[in-house]
Amino acid sequence: MTTRDLSRPRRPSSLQNRLQLGDWTFRTLTGLAGLVAMAVIVGAFYELGSQAWPAIKHGGISVLWDTSWNPGRQEFGVGVFVIGTLITSMFALVAATIIAVLVSLFLVEVAPGYISRPVSYLIELLAAIPSVVYGLWGIFVMGVFVRDHFGPVVVSTFGWIPIFDGTPLITGLFSACVILTVMILPTVMAVSRDVIAAVPRSQREGLMALGATRWEMIRLTVLPYARSGVMGAAILGLARAVGETLAVTLVIGNSVRIPDNIFSPAYTMASVIANQFPEATGLHQSALIEVALILLAITFIINIVARLLVWKVTGGHRAVVQE
Amino acid sequence: MTETQTTPSTMQVPPPPVVRAALGATVPVAKEAPPITIELRDVSAFYGKKLAVSGVSMSIRAHSVTALIGPSGCGKSTLIRTINRMHEFAPGARVEGSIIVDGVNIYGPGIDPARVRQRIGMVFQKPNPFPTMSIADNVAAGLRFMGIRSKSELRDRVESALKRAALWDEVKNDLKKPGIAISGGQQQRLCIARAIAVEPDIVLMDEPCSALDPIATLKIEDLMRELARDYTIVTVTHNMQQAARVSDQTAFMLMDPGDLAGHLVEYGPTSDIFTNPKDSRTEDYISGRFG
Ligand SMILES: Nc1ncnc2c1ncn2[C@@H]1O[C@H](COP(=O)(O)OP(=O)(O)O)[C@@H](O)[C@H]1O
Ligand SMILES: [Mg+2]
């Protein structure tokens, strides 16, 4: 018995070798994948940068805040598009996140299963509807409603505040904000519902057993627990909002003018590329590629800022665990 | 009482501690009101259509430790959760019968379950301190629900609860640290402190030691004995030595093969249950023949 056991010293070392080999393969594969991802991003920046170079040389850095875009006169200020993109996507981000959290809380904490299950399923289905459908709905249903009903009421009630004093049309900044909100809502909602549902039962019960009301329980355990996940969901939605092209192009009005009220027609970066690229040549084309480059940079920055934000929020959590 | 009776050596179970039931009457620690008993009258608990606990009637003595024992799945957790109306927190869960605490049926009309839970604390199987709150805030959580806002009062009551939970000396310099930054045994004592900070009448404990090591378990057991001076303790355990060590009364539950629901088989002073059970099923269980 003993001698046989002693005569197998190679066993552990061969096992060790195999683990190391697996480890090496895994690390190499994931490392390669990471490199490919980096290469794609760097390549995209480089390709766009080189094609945009003539326009960058022509306009310099000031195009970023310059608001006159007039290809005929070789003026390529992108300020209007940047503003349009930022306003619409920020509005959508905030509105969709608030609605998503409220609906998720209702579905997870309040609604009985026979309501929450079908509703959750419907929400997931909404995420699969193509942009053009949203865009057409935006024009023929929502836009008309904004022009005929919602807009006039807002103007007559809040018209004394400058940003609400405008002429409601079918298309415009407000319509674009709403359509973007509706479009990113399913994604944000689906993720935040899962995150809220994943809050441990033991935490909920711990608070309820102390005599908390349902709302206190939500405020003190569900929301803190779900916070980082909900922010992740919001980032997903934001990424889609910033890049969304078709539906926004249909409803935003496409006007190169700084919007001065919520009903003004406006323009986004993605829309101007979609609208003008097919006919653009020379410097105009290069300027549109510059817009794409800026859009890419903005997406990049938003992602980094958002990630830092999540870190900051969850950082509290992590420090909590380690301390 | 039977506390003077010697345990037959064949049982190999330590004799129960001096039964403190009498203490409840003779040592009025910070409580002048008459001790509060719990009376279960024909309590049945359902999960949807499934009957989990059937027709339990028992009267739980104030200022003593009552242990619920029985094999896994016999409805111990379900029954203990009916006593502070936590049972209904499970979707579709429902209770029939009545539970009289301090003369009031907690399942009566117009009773606010949140208020019931303020007076009947609960400690869970797995320590569940709130990770986003500091140690002090964990203990203060229930006080805040009661509407206590004064900083000094909160501080005093947090300190006194931590002392009574035998945790103060270990955490007094770390009160700002998160509630999960301490060991499992300390976390469970933190949960006990959290439960007693609101000065409940009753503390329910559902297998409070099952996730802890033996030393931490002994600390909690000592604490349960200590707390029984001021509080009525009901605990679930499937460790029979523990029941024998800490409890004054023991209730033995079993799932009935007929309706697949938990029934109360036998209930009485712990020494009687362990040395002289009346029901043969109790004897089979405590002598380790099944379960
Ligand atoms: N949330 C629940 N939903 C449905 N059935 C449950 C639930 N919790 C417990 N049960 C059932 O109720 C019975 C009693 O469970 P429980 O009270 O947890 O037993 P014990 O604590 O004695 O192990 C078991 O048959 C169990 O499957
Ligand atoms: Mg249990």
Q: Which domains does chain B have, with CATH numbers?
A: 28-286 (3.40.50.300)
User: A218: CA distance to ligand 1 center in Å?
Assistant: 25
Task: Return the minimum-mean-pLDDT range out of A25-29, A85-89, B22-26.
Answer: B22-26
A206 touches chain B (CB under 8 A): yes
DSSP strand E in chain B: where?
38-47, 50-60, 65-69, 93-101, 104-105, 120-123, 202-206, 232-236, 249-255, 262-269
The whole-angstrom distance between B145's CA and the closest CA on chain A is: 6
Which residues form ligand 1's pocket by a CB distance below 6 Å?
B 47, 50, 52, 70, 72-78, 90, 262
A9 touches chain B (CB under 8 A): no
* In chain A, residues 89-128 whose CB comes closer than 8 Å to chain B: 112-113
Which residues neighbour B217 within 8 Å (Cβ) at sequence distance 6 or greater? B185, B209, B242
Angstrom distance (rounded) from CA B130 to CA B194 = 10
Which tens digit of pLDDT belongs to each residue from A39-82? 999 999 999 999 999 999 998 888 888 889 999 898 999 999 99
CA angle A285, A290, A292 (to 5 degrees): 100
Taking an 8 Å cut-off on Cβ atoms, the answer to whether B145 and A211 are in contact is: yes
Beta-bridged to residue B120, according to DSSP, are B202
Residue B12 — pLDDT band, cuts 50, 70, 90?
A: very low
Mean pLDDT of B234-239: 91
With the most atoms of ligand 1 within 8 angstroms of its CB, the residue from B43, B44, B46, B47 to mutate is B47
Contact A232, A188 (CB under 8 A): no
Contact B62, B233 (CB under 8 A): no
Taking an 8 Å cut-off on Cβ atoms, the answer to whether A202 and B124 are in contact is: yes
Which residues neighbour B265 within 8 Å (Cβ) at sequence distance 6 or greater? B70, B252, B253, B254, B279, B281, B282
User: B175: CA distance to ligand 1 center in Å?
Assistant: 36
Which residues neighbour B146 within 8 Å (Cβ) at sequence distance 6 or greater? A211, B118, B198
pLDDT above 50 for A124: yes
Query: Edge-to-edge, what's the strand order for the sheet holding B104-105?
Result: B104-105, B93-101, B38-47, B50-60, B262-269, B249-255, B65-69, B232-236, B202-206, B120-123
What angle do helix axes B135-145 and B151-164 make, rounded to 10 degrees? 110
Mean pLDDT of B81-96: 92
Q: What are phi and psi of B229, to 5 degrees?
A: -65, -40
Which tens digit of pLDDT belongs to each residue from A206-223? 999 999 988 889 988 888
Beta-bridged to residue B268, according to DSSP, are B250
With the most atoms of ligand 1 within 8 angstroms of its CB, the residue from B46, B51, B78, B126 to mutate is B78
- Of the candidates B128, B113, B148, the residue with the CA atom closest to the CA atom of residue A212: B113
CA atoms within 13 A on the CB side of A103: 23
pLDDT above 60 for A137: yes
Taking an 8 Å cut-off on Cβ atoms, the answer to whether B84 and A320 are in contact is: no
DSSP secondary structure letter of residue A149: I
Q: Render the burial of B220-235: b for 16+ CB within 10 Å, e for the rest.
A: bbebbbebbbbbbbbb
Which is higher by pLDDT, B35 or B261? B261
Angstrom distance (rounded) from CA A235 to CA A241 = 10
Burial class (CB in 10 A: 0-12, 13-18, 19+), A96: buried
Angstrom distance (rounded) from CA A56 to CA A283 = 10
* Residue A46: predicted pLDDT: 94
Contact B98, B41 (CB under 8 A): yes
The whole-angstrom distance between A85's CA and the closest CA on chain B is: 36
Which is higher by pLDDT, B271 or A303? B271
Which tens digit of pLDDT belongs to each residue from B13-67? 333 333 333 333 343 444 455 566 899 999 999 999 999 999 999 999 999 999 9
Q: What is the mean pLDDT of chain A?
A: 87
* Residue B19: predicted pLDDT: 36
Q: Which H or E run contains B215? A: helix B214-227
Q: What is the mean pLDDT of chain B?
A: 86
